[in-house]
Amino acid sequence: MLRRTVAIRNRTGFHARPAGLFAEAASTYQCAITVKNRNKSSDGKSVLGLMLLGVTGGAEITIEAEGSDEIEAVEALAALVGAGFGE
């Protein structure tokens, strides 16, 4: 299992668009992906689950992946978050 903690750079956090972009990108990987925020966790491939985490701008999330392509998945998803989801 690989995990990385990253800060949400966009002001609005995980609203519909960023959650959709994250889940879409996560779905391209075979590994299991989990996103954690404080004491909550969600399947990283679920838009609704990501939105229900209540992640606000500036918050830190932990991206965890387990499987054959976990390194690529965590690197790509951390880069997506680091780029502020293009906002």
pLDDT tens digits for 32-71? 999 999 999 999 999 999 999 999 999 999 999 999 999 9
User: So what's the pLDDT on residue 80?
Assistant: 96
Of 4, 9, 15, 17, which one is the catalytic site residue? 15
Pick the residue with more confidence: 68 or 85? 68
- Whether 15 is a known active-site residue: answer yes
* 3-state SS, residue 83: coil
- For residue 43, which amino acid is it? D
Residue length of the chain: 87
Domain ranges of the chain: 2-86
Which residue's structure tokens are 């392509």?
Answer: 69
Give the pTM. 0.94
Question: What does the mean pLDDT of the chain come to?
Answer: 95
| Topology of domain 2-86, CATH | Histidine-containing Protein; Chain: A; (3.30.1340)
